[in-house]
């Protein structure tokens, strides 16, 4: 056994598993038969102390064939704003821990069979959704946005019924913890205060040690989670990422992007963009995400109230969300515009731009990338940006204000351009890119997953061999529809 992967010896005493029942249950996997590799993330493997080339032993393990019993956890949550009762790891097993520079990381198989929390589900994940989760986890990491990671995908011929018959796969996810707001809501809802206290103490001890000595540790934890969540929302907004299912059971207590399902990066900017076909009311539309992040923090706060006790203090903590979010958002858009200094009317300039992009259905990623090439003396680059906006006069009016703003801080072209090219990605995981990788893998060419991943793990760099992936999406991309089915 690899020295870094002492899963059986780590299991009883380390990490969340140390909490024991009723938080977790030991649950055997239902391994996939005749598994095959779709991809192995050599870079992440290296960080975790695993080989660059995976061995057969790893194929067996990551398809669910284990010599020990992994664990699953119970949680509940609010789905689409409504209390949904008990949910839990219905298709996720934590098989052990690995160290990332000494920080223990949970290794979790998604799709390795039914668990006591599967409810009506089959415990499986399909190839399509596993590729989407894998690529988006790594794309977010490439963008510098907090996220769970993905180590590998294994496939199999096992048929799985969704809208059509598809095949099963397992994606291996990696994170310091997969604990969700819903874990806290679960014990709070049932009035199990000892378990709630135990969970809170454990999360603080492992992930928020600075809260231990605070007068009310649970309040300090909530405040810290609120800050991380607000900051995460600002980062999503700044790259045009829509999560699609911001239910409280998909909200990470560590402020990570978690549970990639019907997510989407916007092509054309639209405040009301809904990436999830199943979200008929638009509860999780692009412009709603920050408010929903706050609402979800409210649900976490209610769950922690028995430990916080003081309702006024709880409200005050929640009031802290908005300024953190606004500050992070303005700062992110300032960086996107290459503004090194702050000026009181920056929000006006940013707001005018977003309205312009919205009204003109302008490609969000391409616009900011093109703007990163703007020069003060020539109008060539400005013309190229203007080409992306239908209402040329409105763009030019905004651009005049922008140039005035750059002149105000004596912005130096080369310095600003360099900074902007490091925050405005050339490549994001557009739906059609994921689709290209999925169709290729389904046709027996999984290496396209790696090609897409390589570009997305360095999204700010030029990749001349994949220039087209940074261009206008092909016509067929418009017809793609993504739902909760995964």
Q: Which positions from 279 through 308 interact with Mg ion, judged by CB under 5 A?
A: none
Among 70, 96, 261, 446, binds ligand AMP (CB under 6 A): 261
Asked if residue 124 binds ligand AMP (CB under 6 A), the reply is yes
The two structure tokens encoding residue 86: 């008990």
Q: How many amino acids of this chain bind ligand AMP (CB under 6 A)?
A: 17
The two structure tokens encoding residue 50: 């695993």
Q: How many amino acids of this chain bind Mg ion (CB under 5 A)?
A: 2
CA dist 223 and 301 (Å) reads: 9
Q: Which is nearer to ligand AMP, 245 or 318 (CB)?
A: 245
Asked if residue 133 binds Mg ion (CB under 5 A), the reply is no
Start-to-end Cα distance in the chain: 33
The two structure tokens encoding residue 231: 């900051």
Report the nearest approach of ligand AMP to the CB of residue 107 (Å).
17
Q: Which is nearer to Mg ion, 237 or 250 (CB)?
A: 250
Among 8, 118, 355, 401, binds ligand AMP (CB under 6 A): 118
Rg (CA), the chain: 23
Q: Which is nearer to Mg ion, 259 or 267 (CB)?
A: 259
Q: Which is nearer to ligand AMP, 277 or 463 (CB)?
A: 277
Burial code (b: 16+ CB inside 10 Å, e: under 16) for 292-322 equals bbbbbbbbbbbbbbbbbeeeebbeebbebbe
Q: How large is the greatest C-alpha to C-alpha distance in the chain, in angstroms?
A: 67
Among 39, 108, 130, 250, binds ligand AMP (CB under 6 A): 250
Q: What is the DSSP code (8-state) at residue 176?
A: S
Cis status of the peptide bond prior to 228, with omega within 30 of 0: no
Query: Residue 122 binds what, of Mg ion, ligand AMP, none (CB under 5 to 8 Å, by partner type)?
Result: ligand AMP
Among 23, 61, 91, 128, binds ligand AMP (CB under 6 A): 91
Q: What is the DSSP code (8-state) at residue 378?
A: -
Q: Is 249 one of the annotated active-site residues of the chain?
A: yes
Asked if residue 129 binds Mg ion (CB under 5 A), the reply is no
Q: 168 - beta bridge partners? A: 126
Question: What is the pattern of x (binds Mg ion, CB under 5 A) and - over residues 235-264?
Answer: ---------------x--------x-----
CA dist 130 and 115 (Å) reads: 19
Report the nearest approach of ligand AMP to the CB of residue 110 (Å).
9
CA dist 47 and 152 (Å) reads: 14
**Phi and psi at residue 373, in whole multiples of 5°?**
-100, 0
CA dist 296 and 312 (Å) reads: 18
Asked if residue 122 binds ligand AMP (CB under 6 A), the reply is yes
Among 7, 31, 41, 89, binds ligand AMP (CB under 6 A): 89
Catalytic residue among 249, 259, 279, 363: 249
Q: Which is nearer to ligand AMP, 91 or 186 (CB)?
A: 91
CA dist 265 and 240 (Å) reads: 5
Asked if residue 259 binds ligand AMP (CB under 6 A), the reply is yes
Report the nearest approach of Mg ion to the CB of residue 263 (Å).
12
Contact 108, 211 (CB under 8 A): no
Q: Applying CB under 6 A, which residues contact ligand AMP?
A: 87-91, 117-118, 121-124, 245, 249-250, 259, 261, 484
Q: Applying CB under 5 A, which residues contact Mg ion?
A: 250, 259
Query: Which active-site residues does the annotation give?
Result: 249
């Amino acid at each position: 056994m690899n020295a870094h992967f002492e899963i059986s010896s780590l299991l009883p005493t380390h990490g969340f598993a140390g909490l024991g029942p009723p938080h977790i249950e030991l649950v055997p996997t239902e391994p996939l038969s005749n598994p095959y590799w779709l991809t192995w993330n050599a870079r992440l493997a290296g960080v975790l102390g695993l080989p660059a080339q995976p061995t057969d032993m790893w194929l067996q393990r990551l398809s669910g064939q284990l010599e020990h019993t992994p664990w699953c956890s119970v949680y509940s949550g609010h789905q689409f704003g409504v209390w949904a009762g008990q949910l839990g790891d219905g298709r996720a097993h934590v098989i052990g821990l690995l160290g990332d520079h000494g920080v223990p990381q949970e290794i979790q198989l998604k799709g390795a069979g039914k668990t006591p929390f599967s409810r009506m589900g089959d415990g499986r994940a399909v190839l399509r959704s596993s590729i989407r989760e894998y690529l988006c986890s790594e794309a977010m990491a490439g963008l510098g946005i907090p996220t769970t990671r993905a180590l590998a995908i294994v496939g199999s011929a096992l048929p799985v019924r969704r809208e059509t018959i598809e095949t099963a796969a397992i994606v291996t996810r990696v994170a310091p913890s997969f604990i969700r707001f819903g874990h806290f809501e679960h014990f709070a809802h049932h009035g199990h205060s000892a378990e709630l206290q135990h969970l809170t103490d454990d999360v603080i001890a492992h992930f928020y040690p600075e809260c231990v000595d605070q007068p009310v540790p649970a309040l300090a934890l909530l405040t810290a989670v609120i800050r991380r969540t607000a900051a995460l929302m600002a980062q999503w907004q700044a790259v045009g990422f829509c999560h699609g299912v911001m239910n409280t059971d998909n909200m990470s207590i560590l402020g990570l992007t978690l549970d990639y399902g019907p997510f989407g990066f916007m092509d054309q900017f639209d405040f009301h963009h809904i990436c999830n076909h199943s979200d008929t009311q638009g509860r999780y539309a692009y412009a709603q995400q920050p408010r929903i992040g706050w609402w979800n923090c409210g649900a976490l706060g209610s769950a922690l109230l028995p430990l916080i006790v003081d309702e006024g203090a709880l409200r005050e903590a929640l009031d802290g969300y908005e300024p953190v979010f606004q500050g992070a958002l303005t700062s992110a858009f300032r960086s996107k515009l290459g503004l090194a200094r702050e000026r009181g009317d920056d929000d006006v300039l940013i707001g005018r731009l977003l309205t312009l992009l919205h009204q003109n259905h302008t490609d969000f990623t391409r616009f900011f990338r093109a703007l990163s090439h703007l020069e003060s003396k020539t109008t060539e680059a400005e013309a190229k940006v203007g080409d992306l906006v239908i209402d040329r006069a409105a763009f030019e009016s905004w651009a005049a204000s922008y140039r005035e703003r750059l002149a105000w801080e004596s912005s130096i072209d080369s310095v600003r351009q360099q900074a902007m090219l490091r925050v405005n990605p050339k490549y994001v995981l557009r739906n059609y890119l994921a689709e290209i990788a999925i169709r290729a893998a389904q046709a027996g060419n999984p290496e396209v997953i790696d090609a897409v991943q390589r570009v997305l793990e360095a999204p700010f760099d030029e990749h001349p061999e994949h220039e087209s992936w940074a261009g206008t999406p092909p016509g067929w991309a418009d017809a793609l529809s993504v739902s909760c089915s995964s």
